[in-house]
A and B are shown apart, each in its own frame.
Chain A
Amino acid sequence: MNNLIKGEKHDWEMVIGLEIHAQVKSNSKLFSSSSTKFGSSPNSQVSLVDAAMPGMLPVINKYCVEQAVKTGVGLNAKINNYSVFDRKNYFYADLPQGYQISQYKYPIVGEGKVTIDFKDGTSKDIRIVRLHLEQDAGKSLHDQNPSKTYVDLNRSGVALMEIVSEPDIRTPDEAGMYISKIRSILMYLDTCDGNMQEGSLRADVNISVRKPGDEYGTRCEIKNLNSIKFIKQAINYEAKRQIEILESGGSIEQNTMLFNTSTGKTRPMRNKEEAHDYRYFPDPDLLPLEISKEEIVKIKSSIPELPDELKNKFIETYKLSNYDASVLTAEKQTSDYFNETINSDSELKNHAKIVVNWITSELFSLLNKNNQDLNNSPVSPENLGQLIKLISTNEISGKIAKDVLGDMFSSGKTARQIVDEKGLQQVTDQGEITKVIDEVIAENPKMVEQYLAGKDKLLGFFVGQVMKLTKGKANPKMLNDILKQKLNKKN
């Protein structure tokens, strides 16, 4: 695969690393018992600790720690028995303590890796450097008043996992696939809700460019991107910007950038003089976090099947392609749906590829069109299974099945009900089909003549006519066979 981009003078390669901030799925905050519910009225979920009142102290939420360990296991990473919370000191209006509690030198999770799968069947490992726990800040609201800024502390203290990758990513697509994969794993684990629109998953992108084979170039960091689309746009813009500078003889200044989603451009967030010295030091209000081997084993045993395991299982059990299996397992709801569908009837196991197609193309397109989610699909897995069974046993044709699915989607009826009510069963009676074919041949002597004269394409015309008369119910294979037989007899 060619990952290079053409500059005016050379080919260039992007070197990309991601820092993903994933909100821990937990009812309460990392160091306080306040609720984490999204969308509540401003400052309604703020405890004395969250507001940093004098004398208030943080107490670690054990559930968030378990969630981080779980995530570490899901990322094939080393879990550290000993980790330390540090204070990252800086002033901002929505940072009530004047520091963020984070993990600096000793994170809770060490090196790991995730695998991304390409359409062509190949795959690639992206290495994880670390995962650490930290507090989110509050939110500054600049648009409520022309001369004032308001602060909403609902988010202040919410637990985040920062997942840092090695600079193993080489293209915007890989970056997109990587974050999708991380999102998928977190959602399987139920450690993050994966909702990028609500900010539950955001990423900082580190990017540099180099001539292939050269050392890494100087990187810039693009902060706080909350959609895969923006991540790709930002990378493309920033790479182009850096290449232009380098090709015109300039050099890249290491900088923190912001991405403007309406212009599609990046710009520096602060200049060097404003660079922070965060003065990290261990938080003296908290003891080091120690997790015993037993606890880790216990957490490991509670972990569900993850996408990669499931993918391999699907490939083995159902002889699916790597790509089909990875599409099925990308989201937990999809693999769950597939599992329920294929297990709804023992026959369906032999038609796995058909089941995949009906879910990922027919059902998905209906859901998309109607702006609905697989979780609330009007067509249940059992009902889809029944529909596929009707196809596989030749009771209805694939073409009719599409209409039936549409009907199921809007009416909520089962495939059986619709087929029975509308009399859509395929005609598989040889005599009945032959009768109709004879009729069509008799009514179209000219066409028969032309066909026999070598116009093979006209076969389709006859098929169409028969289908029309049988309302599409004639078994296509039988129709084809008998039709050819009859016409050739004329010869």
Chain B
Amino acid sequence: MSKSSLKQTLKDLDTKKISIRELNQDYLKRIKENENLNIFIHFSEENVLKQIDNLEKDNSEKKLKGIPIAIKDLFCTKSMPTTAASKILENFNPTYESFVTQKLLDEGSIFVGKTNLDEFAMGSATNTSFFGNTINPLSQENEPLAPGGSSGGSAAAVAADLCLGATGTDTGGSIRQPASFCGVVGIKPTYGLCSRWGIAAFASSLDQAGIFSHNVEDASILLQSIAGFDQRDSTSAKVDIPNYFENLDDDLNGKTVGIPKEYSIDGTPMEISQIWEDAIKVLEKKGVKIKNISLPHTKYALPTYYIIAPAEASSNLARYDGVKYGFRSDEIDSLDEMYENTRAQGFGREVKRRILIGTYVLSAGYYDAYYLKAQKVRKLIADDFNKAFKECDFIVTPTAPSAAFPLNEKQNDPIKMYLNDVFTVPASLAGLPGISIPFGKDKNNLPLGIQILGKHFDEQQVFNAAVSLERSYE
């Protein structure tokens, strides 16, 4: 069975062409065959079989009944441990189910396992995980590639066809960049569309759950399933969730696309500029008006992000102190030592680096110069988009400044690593929806992604533009 879509599988299940058991056994087989890629932190065949048993006894109609889904190990799940890829949460078993995963369970989907990520979602290569690197399924045997990050495990799971969809979270690009690296579709919806309840927090004002899938149609089906208001999350939005899939419309005639000049960055590989131009040409042919726009504060987005996200993280991760749950160091002679040793041994390098940065920028005497200023710039960046969206319906840019890079390439250069987020971070700061779809390849035949950004809560327009580009590319 070659990669079948979620849409087709739902039909096949409906017409009894295939049973839930047969379907999932097929995926189980591939999961076991691909263990070397280290895609899952937690996988239990027994657990999957149990879910199949239960669904077979369940006669109710469910939208995603029997569909194998992979869950980023940042979502708290009752049936599987939740680690955030950190030693500090090794063996942590939540007694509660996150909003997003509960919705997927309610729809009847089957969780095949918990996918690997950068520790606490901090990274761009899934190489800061306590449980080791994930390998991009598109790697050649002699050169293992990074799947991107932080949701690298979920992107790789879809790319290796180990599931029909996966959840991810995106704080500065953690869904879109790995989607681009692995050649799959990844959507980060508007901040507030999906409740953050039950997702271990990295940066609260930026974290947003989203979806990986084989194609845009599948993403539209899955996103609808996980979206919705949740009174347990004060930043969750009270908006009506349209039926994205039913409303998909690839006719873009008369629409206007914004092309931001600031996204042409010196040193961007030719191939990236090329696919961007290709995408614009395709759109033009479809009757889309091309509008050159300016997002003048784009260059401040990365530094702004790398102040705000670590600041929030430094506080969000304070709860991992060894007192209540998770890892606690054995070497304790005092309360202070318990904190010091637990956190020194429990967190990895990248997490510690960001906690230190965050603590620094919030410190007395530095707050105004860093955090407060970053908040002001964040507002300017959001205003840039608001202005631009008065003149266009959606914006098209490359997703990432490169194709998947070799696993250990940027390990010791955090700045280089942070530059991966250059095209994805501005929309995160503005809270806008963004999708990455595969669009072209580089000279090594590695996939490259195009990013489509939309107005707040205008996921439908993002899907429409994406499906239109996708269909023209296929």
Q: What residues of chain A have their CB less than 8 Å away from a CB belonging to chain B?
A: 48, 51-60, 87, 89, 91-93, 96-99, 149, 151, 277, 279-281, 284-287
Contacts and interface: CB of A to CB of B under 8 A. Distances in A.
B231 interface: yes
Nearest to A87: B315
A48 B89 CA distance: 16
B323 A93 contact: yes
A284 B367 CA distance: 16
Nearest to B76: A55
B234 interface: yes
Given A98-B321, A284-B205, A285-B204, A55 B197 contact: yes
Interface in B89-135: 89, 92, 94-96, 98
B307 to A, nearest CB: 11
Interface stretch (B239-247, B295-303, B356-364, B387-395): B356-364
B199 A96 contact: no
Contacts of A285: 201, 204, 234-235
Nearest to B312: A284
Given A91-B321, A96-B323, A277 B76 contact: no
Interface string B222-242: 000000000111110000000
24 contacts: A53-B325, A54-B82, A54-B200, A54-B201, A55-B75, A55-B196, A55-B200, A57-B232, A59-B234, A60-B234, A89-B314, A89-B362, A91-B318, A93-B335, A96-B323, A96-B324, A98-B318, A99-B315, A281-B362, A281-B371, A284-B312, A285-B204, A285-B235, A287-B235
Interface centre among A93, A277, A279 (most CB of B within 10 A): A279
A55 B99 CA distance: 10
B204 A54 contact: no
Contacts of B359: 279
A54 B235 contact: no
Given A55-B197, A57-B234, 13 more contacts: A51-B324, A53-B325, A54-B200, A55-B75, A89-B314, A89-B362, A91-B339, A96-B319, A98-B317, A98-B319, A281-B315, A281-B371, A285-B235
Contact of B315 (A60, A89, A93, A96): A89
A36 B334 CA distance: 31
Nearest to A276: B364
Interface residues of B, number: 43
B198 interface: yes
A59 B99 CA distance: 15
Contacts of A54: 76, 82, 84, 89, 92, 94, 200-201, 319
B315 A279 contact: yes
In this complex, which of A55, A98, A280, A285 has the most chain B Cβ atoms within 10 angstroms of its Cβ? Answer: A55
Contacts of A57: 196-197, 232-234
Identify the interface centre among B321, B325, B359: most chain A CB within 10 Å of its CB.
B321
Contacts of B233: 57, 59
Contacts of A91: 318, 321, 339
Contacts of B205: 284
Interface in B318-370: 318-319, 321, 323-325, 335, 339, 359, 362-364, 367
B319 A52 contact: yes
Interface centre among B311, B318, B324, B364 (most CB of A within 10 A): B318
Contacts of B335: 92-93, 149
Nearest to B83: A54
A149 B318 CA distance: 20
Contacts of B430: none
Contacts of A97: 318-319
A114 B196 CA distance: 43
B355 to A, nearest CB: 11
B179 interface: no
B203 interface: yes
Interface string B362-406: 111001000100000000000000000000000000000000000
Nearest to B311: A281
A59 B75 CA distance: 20
A86 to B, nearest CB: 10
A51 B199 CA distance: 15
B456 to A, nearest CB: 15
Contacts of B319: 52, 54, 96-98
A277 B315 CA distance: 13
